[in-house]
Chain A
Amino acid sequence: MSQPNDDAPTIRPADTDLVLEVEDLVKHFPVREGLIFKRQTGAVQAVDGVSFQLRRGETLGIVGESGCGKSTLAKLLMRLEEPDSGSVRFRGEDFLAMRGEALRHMRRKIQIIFQDPYTSLNPRMSVGDIVAEPFKLHPEAKPAQGVRNRVKELLDVVGLDPDHINRYPHQFSGGQRQRIGIARGLALNPDVIICDEPVSALDVSVQAQVMNLLKDLQDEFGMSYIFIAHDLSVVRHISDRLAVMYLGRLAELGTDDELYGAPAHPYTQALLSAVPVPDPTLRGQRDEIVLKGDPPNPANPPSGCRFRTRCWKATDICATDEPELIVRTGVTQQVACHHAEPNKAVAAEDR
């Protein structure tokens, strides 16, 4: 685990496995009011100081409820949005400082798969053109065996019939469309694929197929995933490490075993306990924490700890001091809570 260490040199040659290092990333969206003279009256603090690392071949799950900033984080990592401050290092190089050709080159290495397979594919383009488009934008990456052959190969890899290369998106089902999106994401052999809710629009039986495919592709090509989702059961199956996000900040960060086995942040505990388990014999026996209320407005987050307004453990210190994301006593993962305490009762294993 990465521990804050002030003496560490900025370049760590031993850590060649590190693909992505994100530090203190901040993105605020201004809120403007007024009809003619727009003045800024506030800011939606979508991402507010997020740090994590991603290793080669690893899957980092990012979970959180709607509005917690997880999709904004994905856009920042793709540089589809420019952050206000913070740093993103890709294989040791400063990704945010890159411009022009260097940036274009780097974009090949980070690809994204979107949530909605119905709107993320151009309905007027054939499947072949959709999957070949990355080669159009990056002609230097054109495959030696010819684009069309490579596209057919990619379709085969994601489990689609290569003969369907001339079909259009509407001729495919939701699961198949998601496979087209995955083939497009794979085209340039990226090092990192950001999956933004890739299976939440799919039916259960198809969802399992796509999850298995993502897992197989990772085993075969060794890329890293950032897997963004709201469904904790789905994330559990694919991720090695997990980050829990709440109102633009990370509440807890650790390995799967740590977070599912002994969640220490009250929010993680509540999230875990709220996931319904498909077993009626456990009805009424589960330790359920039902949170009161809704997440607060990200334009006006509570002082101190952002979770304190819904937290049953909150005390005075939570309103004044913002808890840092550090390793707390009694646990091995990083927790941003003054009252962090592992709760085995809601842990996923013991259900």
Chain B
Amino acid sequence: MTTAPQPTTPAQGDGDFTSTGPLLEVKDLHVEFHTKQGVAQAINGLNFTLEAGETLAILGESGSGKSVTAQTIMGILDMPPGHIAGGEIRYRGQDLLAMKPEQRRRLRGVNISMIFQDALSSLNPVLPVGWQIAEMFRVHQKMRRRPARQRAIELMKRVGIPAAEQRVGDYAHQFSGGMRQRIMIAMAIALDPDVLIADEPTTALDVTVQAQVMRLLKELQTENNMGLILITHDLGVVADVADKIAVMYAGRVMEAADVYEIYARPGHPYTKGLLESLPRIDAAGERLNAIPGLPPSLTDMPSGCPFSPRCPYATDLCRNEMPELLPIVGEHTSACHYREEMHRGHLQTPEEAQA
């Protein structure tokens, strides 16, 4: 399902962009937080690429570094306590981290845009929503008030808000959760961005509304040929919409692959554990296969593989040496010493091997 890199010209904004290569490329990114308890390594060497029209899901539990990844790409990480310790984020070949703040600001919202989880706290409660959407046009395109408002109404219609003309002057609290999320989406896509980052866009919504919003996002992506980074913890939503998946754990990508491949043949014990621990609506099994233990503290990482304390397959090698993210077949990569056995389904726990 991977789309070939498309030589498109950048939508707006300025800068010296190459037209070949991936739309967005993150290389060996390191982000730390300086806290009283010590240095928390939120992201430890993150790598991924995103092409136009492609959906990359970044999957992880709380504390895995998935939201920090989104904030770092957007350039909205709180610094301090955050600190980018190394790496590159290349948008159309240009390193975002090397840009001047002014240059980055011109990209933000124009070329790279973001949807947040909690629409109520992300929208300004004292300004009408129409004004907030129109602000995108007024600020970035120096549009006058009246045409900007007109564009805002068009956008509200596009994202499925009924009676947009009447509601353009309403405030955030007058909308339901699903409608607020649609307003956030309208703001994010206002300037036709190439990259859209959606940080848990449907987590706060009810299931029936969640389906509506996911469907809308997918439609808009196809229409505008956007690269979509979907940050989520929900393995169900991912299976429905993603093209490829990166599974994060303790600030690293543990496994990355095409969506069909990863669900059928997980190449990392953590991914396998996640899939097995999930209650499924199509199976009424009595007991769930929970992953024992807890994710490690970011200030006190275990030596070797960060998953080894919870991994049933862990050996001395795992406890001493951090495995690199290496290919299994094709684009399927895994950071496990035993990735090939895992992928073939032959991996045994130390107890099984002895028996």
Contact = CB atoms under 8 A, between A and B. Distances in A.
Given A65-B208, A230-B206, A280-B239, A209 B280 contact: no
Interface stretch (B20-28, B93-101, B188-196, B228-236): B228-236
A205 B279 contact: no
A173 B238 CA distance: 26
B288 A203 contact: no
Given A276-B234, A290-B215, A294-B176, A205 B281 contact: no
Contacts of B118: none
A232 B240 contact: no
A278 B162 CA distance: 32
20 contacts: A175-B294, A203-B295, A204-B274, A204-B277, A205-B273, A205-B290, A207-B277, A212-B287, A215-B286, A233-B278, A233-B281, A236-B281, A237-B286, A237-B288, A274-B210, A274-B211, A281-B264, A282-B239, A291-B208, A293-B162
Given A205-B61, A205-B291, A230-B207, A294 B178 contact: yes
Given A205-B290, A280-B260, A280-B263, A270 B208 contact: yes
A271 interface: yes
B292 interface: yes
A142 B36 CA distance: 42
B278 A204 contact: yes
B285 interface: yes
A56 B233 CA distance: 35
Interface string A117-133: 00000000000000000
A8 B48 CA distance: 67
Interface residues of B, number: 48
A86 to B, nearest CB: 26
A217 interface: no
Contacts of A290: 208, 211-212, 215
B209 interface: yes
A260 B279 CA distance: 14
B234 A211 contact: no
Given A204-B277, A205-B273, A291-B211, 20 more contacts: A65-B207, A203-B61, A203-B233, A203-B295, A204-B233, A204-B235, A205-B295, A208-B289, A231-B279, A232-B281, A236-B279, A260-B281, A271-B208, A277-B282, A280-B259, A281-B263, A290-B212, A291-B208, A294-B177, A294-B178
Interface of A: 65-66, 173-176, 203-209, 211-212, 215, 230-234, 236-237, 256, 260, 270-272, 274-283, 288, 290-291, 293-295, 348-349, 351
B279 A234 contact: yes
Interface of B: 61-62, 162, 176-179, 206-212, 215, 233-240, 242, 259-260, 263-264, 273-275, 277-282, 284-292, 294-295
